Amino acid sequence: MQVRQLIICGHARAFGGGRAPETETSGDHERLLHLNDRTTAAMTKHARRIVIFLASIVVSFLSHYFLNGWINIIPWAIVTLCVGYTSNGRRNTVVNGAIFGYFLFLVYILIGYGGKTDTTSIATIILFALVFSLIGSVAGVGGALIGNIAHQRINPPHNSEKVK
């Protein structure tokens, strides 16, 4: 019975419904509700990062096969700004931007490799791609931070009052 109430209360709080009526309140029950809320938030954060990872792969493939030259930067920048715009908080924005930028560069470089297929050449291009993709993560963080700042400017917090 208590586990069922925990699940019901956890879902009510996760979807913004507030607290569901309870028959008993104990310290353990309150603590478990709090852990359930954090778990729900963590799962959402991890699911979002998986979607960002997959989006970086899709954007890499699309830009490699359908766009040529420097025009690739336009969809990369748009998606990076969207990653930052949809991220909650600075820390998540930095991590999400780094994930997107790193894997975008990594997949794009590896797709475009058309050189030799011997072991030394493959090892060299993989090492180069892994290191060079760090530049992509820095670019992803920068774009995501700009997108997050735009989100904060467009949607200011509701609890702050404007000062004239």
The two most distant CA atoms of the chain are separated, in Å, by 70
List strand residue ranges (DSSP E) for the chain, in order.
Answer: none
Can you give the pLDDT of all 164 residues of the chain as single tens digits? 344 333 333 333 344 444 444 444 455 544 444 444 555 555 588 899 999 999 999 999 999 999 888 898 999 999 999 999 999 889 999 999 999 999 999 999 999 888 888 899 899 999 999 999 999 999 999 999 999 999 999 988 776 555 54
Hey, where are the domains in the chain?
48-154
Cβ atoms of 80 and 100 within 8 Å: the answer is: yes
pTM of the predicted protein model:
0.69
Q: How much is the pLDDT for 8?
A: 35
User: Residue 104 burial (CB < 10 Å; 0-12/13-18/19+)?
Assistant: buried
Q: How much is the pLDDT for 70?
A: 86
